[in-house]
Structure 1
Amino acid sequence: MTTTALTDLVDALLAGAAPAPIVSAGDPVLRQQTQPYEGQLSGARFTGLIELMRTTMREAPGVGLAAPQIGVPLRVAVVEDPATLRPGTSAESLRVRRRVPQPFRVLVNPHYTATDPGAASFFEGCLSVPGWQAVTARYERVHLLGQDEHGRELDEEVEGWPARIVQHETDHLDGVLYLDRAEIRSLSTTAHVLDRWADPVPENAARALGFPLPGTVH
């Protein structure tokens, strides 16, 4: 996409109502490699895009949102996880998943590599695949590189549930949906996950639905 076309797209989004519509699976923008962000947008436009993404993520609600999910093919994502108890979750689930509060942050041009071969398997969902979840293996610890919204370098290790969020959102920027990595036989409606499979680890779901718990990332 040319800089002019990108600018027009972002201007149209900023002129509309917030939150922005979330693009659902089947739209080609979710399957495209995004463009690295290299200052294509003016400071005000870029700030406006980040604010729109934050509002859209919070209203959904979600714990992360990638720019392609609102139709913008840029390598930018936002994450935030209050790690609060919600229906279908428990303190034990938070502990087992190593889910801890994450303040709002912006990931610009993020990349990750595994720093530990260990993987964890849990039900995972996506705002672009509403109403469904599936068991997905993710690395338990990753090395995150990139920048923040001010151009400051990110170079850190992330583990537990925050690492899962980083992997999920960065995958979006490479045209990958979590379903590409999921154990498809585990696919369940969110209602079933809350009513039947709310255990901290999805062992009961694996037995009942007949799938092995993934132990490696693919």
Structure 2
Amino acid sequence: MACEDCGRERSAGLCEACGHRRQVEVLIGEAGLLAATWSADLTDPVAVAAVAAAVRAAIEADIAAEWAEFQKITDPAALEAAGPDAVEDAAAHNAFLVAESAAAEYRHEALVMLGRSEDAQAEARQAYATELAKPWHQALPDSDDAQRAATEAAAKARPAPPSTCSPCGWSSCTPSPALSRSGPLRGRSACPSSPPARWTARPWR
């Protein structure tokens, strides 16, 4: 049975390369949505789409870079000798590995950001309660002065937001700690104003 995506014969309905391409699309989509959870207002489809597009550009650029490195260390003759579809299969597999690694990084970062958010909320609630428990507020804890002081204490307990990105003004466009490690994204941020990757050939597609 031919591959339903590319028509390659004897592929049981889906060849190896197209199977990897489908997985790459799923992983890139997942990474984009994960990045949007801390980089955009999730009620704003335009903002979410902008983050997803930036994440896609970053991952696709890394796929191209990894493929270029692979070609440098691989004997073209040996690859061609492996079969007529060997280059295409290798490129698609390379793309899958890069996208899989990137998605894992974004999952990790999403968990880190969730933990920070929960910790910050807990600290703010504790500061609010501590302020109201002070002797001079105990008599009238619901008074304007007491509530104002407690609210200010809670605000101070929350960590300051990260510096904004000068091109787009988003507070989340600075490279995150998890993505700054050596890995597929190499510390790039999900800033929608970042320039597109300078590459045209996409052998994995």
Q: Normalising by the residue count of structure 1, what TM-score does the alignment of the two structures yield?
A: 0.21
Higher RCO (CA 8 Å, separation ≥ 6 residues) = 2
Structure with the bigger percentage of strand: 1
Structure with the bigger percentage of helix: 2
Q: Normalising by the residue count of structure 2, what TM-score does the alignment of the two structures yield?
A: 0.22
